[in-house]
Amino acid sequence: MFRILFLLFLTVPLVEIYFLIQVGQEIGAFSTVLLCILTAALGAILLRIQGILTLMNAREKLRQGEIPADSLLEGLILLIAGVLLLTPGFVTDVIGFLCLVPSLRSMLALRMLHQAFRDDLRRRNIIVEGEFWEEDDHRRLR
């Protein structure tokens, strides 16, 4: 896990710097900075709207007596999207905007839930308790 985080913290800034330089050469430094600010502002607005909708969805599920696990995971994905959108750069902005698409976000949340339950079931020892008896004499055995 440490290696993955180390690689992410090393490669993501390098990739972002590369793309910022490339875009800056095409449209200019001022326009590039302005575009970064614009994507952050637009992302914050969309994040707020999606966050409110997700919160309302979670409340509705609670009212119906359901556990809003998928809504909670979608909220976590929205938190990650917010961090990505506020990070200067275009690659993180693209990933952040993809996390704001409701259908992609719900698909990712459901995939995370399925993965968590599958891993949990693999780790558990399932014990089934019950009573049984032999057919011959119908005596109960425990």
67-118, pLDDT tens digit by residue? 888 899 999 999 999 999 988 899 999 999 999 999 999 999 989 888 887 7
Domain that holds residue 83: 2-124
Across all residues in the chain, what is the average pLDDT? 87
Q: Is residue 129 part of a domain?
A: no
Q: Is residue 110 part of a domain?
A: yes
User: What pLDDT, on the 0 to 100 scale, is given for residue 130?
Assistant: 73
For residue 141, pLDDT beyond 60: no
Q: How far is 90 from 15, CA to CA, in rounded Å?
A: 9
Q: Is residue 48 part of a domain?
A: yes
| 110-139 confidence digits (pLDDT tens) | 898 888 877 666 666 666 677 766 666 555
Q: Is residue 142 part of a domain?
A: no
For residue 41, pLDDT beyond 90: yes
pLDDT band (50, 70, 90) for residue 38: very high
Q: Is residue 14 part of a domain?
A: yes
Number of domains in the chain: 1
User: What pLDDT, on the 0 to 100 scale, is given for residue 131?
Assistant: 76
The dihedral through the CA atoms of 127, 129, 135, 139 has a sign that is positive
Structure tokens at 115: 């993965």
Q: Is residue 89 part of a domain?
A: yes
Q: Helix-strand-coil percent breakdown of the chain, rounded to 5? A: 80, 5, 20
| Segment 52-63 mean pLDDT | 93
User: What pLDDT, on the 0 to 100 scale, is given for residue 115?
Assistant: 84
Structure tokens at 65: 């007596």
pLDDT band (50, 70, 90) for residue 64: very high
Q: Is residue 33 part of a domain?
A: yes
Q: Is residue 132 part of a domain?
A: no
What phi and psi, each to the nearest 5 degrees, are found at residue 48?
Answer: -65, -45
Cα end-to-end span (Å), the chain: 47
Pair 101, 49: CB distance under 8 Å: no
